[in-house]
Structure 1
Amino acid sequence: MKATLALSIAALGFTVLSQAAHADTDTYADKAINQAYSAPSTLTRAEVQADLALWQRAGLEAAAGRESFDPTRPDIASRLAQYKQWRSGSEYRNELARLQDKSMTAQAPSSRMAN
């Protein structure tokens, strides 16, 4: 019984120590991502959807999903530059307005009267 208890305590201690060691290996990017996901967003659904639409239109969705994503590669760099230009310009505002109009149309009550 004492041997089983000692073995269980040792296993628990090893688990705690291995988790603590792993926590120290987080990269700067891991910490930034965790911080971004833990902070509440102030963006509206339409703003997020507009941003995503531009990201996809720039052709970055498939590229960013790969482990080999390299923003310094010329083809990726040009797509990122295009996305940033669209995101800070009228393309974003137009896409946002389109999505908001679409949302308002979907929420509008039907003009038909029930007989």
Structure 2
Amino acid sequence: MHHLNDRELKKIVAAELKFYKALKVAMENRNELRESGVSQIFPQLANREVETEIKYKQIHRTLTEVLDHNQRQILERKYLGGDPINDIEIYLDMGLTKDQFYVIKKEAIRLVATALRII
């Protein structure tokens, strides 16, 4: 079993959270098609609908049920926002010290990784 260090773990979790934005839109688009009675409007190279839905649900559940307010806010602003944002901007906006911010962020990443069975 490969043991991940904190930097590797953060990279994996960040990639999954960034991909979550696309999964969320994919689920919304699918629902819109179903409501319209249309099956598909773009070429579909692979049918991964089941995997996409499960992955979306598991990440969504993790964000809403596992993290506390500060943890969720940090991850949402850092990885789920539209524009890139620096850590310093986040912790200053939240009224946290640099040390508090990094403790909360590290804890949040570990919780997400645990809930998603990455670690």
Give the TM-score band, short-chain normalised. under 0.3
The structure having more radius of gyration, on CA atoms, is 1
- The TM-score with structure 1 as length reference comes to 0.25
- The TM-score with structure 2 as length reference comes to 0.24
Larger RCO of the pair (alpha carbons < 8 Å, separation 6+): 2
